[in-house]
Amino acid sequence: MTLLNRSLAPITDEIWEVLDEEARDYLSLQLTGRKIVDVEGPLGSDFAAVNSGRQTKLESPVEGVQMTERKVLPLAEIKVPFTLDLNELEAVTRGAEDIELDNLLEAADKVIAAEDGAVFKGKGAEHFAGIINKAEFNLNISDKPQEFIAAAVEGINNMKNAGVGGPFSLVLSEDIFRVLFSSPDSGYPLHKRLGDIDIEKVIVSPLMESEGLLLSARGEDFKLILGQDLTLGFEERNGSKLEFFFTESFVTRVISPEAAVYLN
Amino acid sequence: MPEYHEEDLPEEAVDYHRIIKSLIEELEAVDWYNQRAAATDDPTVQGIVEHNRDEEIEHACMALEWLRRRYPAWNENLETFLFSEGDITELEEEEGEENENSEGSSSLGLGDLK
């Protein structure tokens, strides 16, 4: 585990609070996967792997002895460095409220791309399947509300026929969301029609590119398992520049591919 | 009501009070049943009151869990003291040292965003 070295940073607890709060507010607004999948943990920075329940056969070491080894899913660890100006941070102690933290937010965007990229697209470790890659159903969608609803109904029927119940969640790319929700309603608002077919949550993800996911929100189908939850650490000082980083460790799992419909 | 020390309490404080009172009552009941079990000479009476005592323990634990899920101070302290080993009075000190060190236990507290 990466050492956080927070006590080594030449800044006060008050400044740490400002940095933590800014990061927390931004990430809780922008992270998408955690609003959809089940989050387990944080299980601690010493948590290294998740049991898959599976095993592989090894070569027999001694005649008459069968040996197997357990297969586990190791956690991946990310680290995203960024630089902040010490003079700017010191302004916090003088009462400044408009601190320049663009670099922190840019780094947070990379964190979001990494975490949500792993959840939705399986980016990163080989054993990150990604919900989009594993989704059992695939449907073409239209940007016309009426046709979109028809596709959503078909998707839900597919899941129900596979034994997957609701409620359901919808993750959409920004362009599809904008077109759908700015189209004139034919007498009945789109969000109410989605509610009528048991879609209780619609989330926009910057990670999606003219695509979407329709997922069961019944639980236990998709998981983000955290070792060390997202946190800020301190790397080093270079003159008036302070090097910080975001870090976390996690593994993603798609347990029920039949609980996902890829929309494109 | 006379059991309140302040007026115009928000609903959250009233619910907090309800659970605290329930917890107190459950623990009193645990104590009473335990005394009855210790006092009786009849093993069937003892069996019944011990069963009742353990039911009240279950209820008390439910109230504790309600508090833990909603209030970080309950969560933090229960995490520190429950299911631990060694000298109970030294656990608080060890926890303090871990926090000061702030390595590994620190996070932004994002967790589940549902």
- Average pLDDT over every residue of A42-46: 89
pLDDT > 80? residue B92 = no
Distance from CA of B114 to the nearest CA of A (A): 4
* Cβ contact B112–A38 (<8 Å): yes
pLDDT above 70 covers what percent of chain A?
98
Order of strands, edge to edge, in the sheet holding A212-216? A137-139, A260-263, A212-216, A168-172, A199-204
CA B78 to chain centre: 8
The beta-carbon neighbor of A34 closest among B101, B102, B110 is B110
Chain A residues interacting with chain B (CB cutoff of 8 angstroms)? 1, 3-7, 20, 23-24, 27-28, 31, 34-36, 38-39, 41-42, 44-46, 226, 228-232, 248
ipTM of the complex: 0.78
Q: A81-85, A93-97, A135-139, A220-224: which has the minimum mean pLDDT?
A: A93-97
Cα–Cα distance between A221 and A73 in angstroms, integer?
17
pLDDT > 60? residue B102 = no
Longest alpha-carbon distance in chain B: 57
Set of chain B residues whose Cβ sits within 8 Å of the Cβ of A31: 110, 113
Contacts of the segment A141-150: beta carbons below 8 A, 24+ positions apart? A141/A176, A141/A212, A141/A263, A141/A264, A143/A176, A143/A179, A143/A180, A143/A183, A144/A183, A145/A180, A145/A183, A145/A185, A145/A186, A145/A190, A145/A193, A146/A186, A148/A180, A149/A190, A149/A193, A149/A194, A149/A197
The pTM for the full model equals 0.73
Cα–Cα distance between A37 and A255 in angstroms, integer?
11
Asked whether the CA dihedral A251, A139, A154, A201 is positive or negative, the reply is positive
Residues belonging to chain B: 114
- Average pLDDT over every residue of A4-24: 92
CB of A255 closer than 8 Å to CB of A244? no
What pLDDT score does A189 carry?
77
| Strand segments (E) across A48-150 | 49-58, 67-74, 76-85, 137-139
Cα–Cα distance between A171 and A205 in angstroms, integer?
7
Q: Note the pLDDT tens digit of each residue in A90-139.
A: 998 888 888 899 999 999 999 999 999 999 999 998 889 899 999 999 99
pLDDT > 60? residue A49 = yes
What pLDDT score does B80 carry?
86
What pLDDT score does B7 carry?
87
Distance from CA of B82 to the nearest CA of A (A): 17
pLDDT above 90 covers what percent of chain A?
73
Distance from CA of A139 to the nearest CA of B (A): 26
Top pLDDT among A62 and A166 is at A62
Pairing of strands A38-40, A222-226: parallel
DSSP A208: -
* Domains contained in chain A, CATH given: 1-264 (3.30.2400.30)
CB of A104 closer than 8 Å to CB of A246? no
Q: Where are the domains of chain B?
A: 8-76
Set of chain B residues whose Cβ sits within 8 Å of the Cβ of A222: none
Q: Note the pLDDT tens digit of each residue in B30-80.
A: 999 999 999 999 999 999 999 999 999 999 999 999 999 888 889 888 988
Longest alpha-carbon distance in chain A: 76
What pLDDT score does B101 carry?
41
Cis peptide upstream of residue A74 (ω within 30 degrees of 0) = no
DSSP code string of B29-73: HHHHHHHHHHH-S-HHHHHHHHHHHHHHHHHHHHHHHHHHHH-HH
Q: Note the pLDDT tens digit of each residue in A181-190.
A: 887 766 677 7
Contacts of A196 (CB under 8 A, 6+ apart): none
pLDDT > 70? residue B2 = no
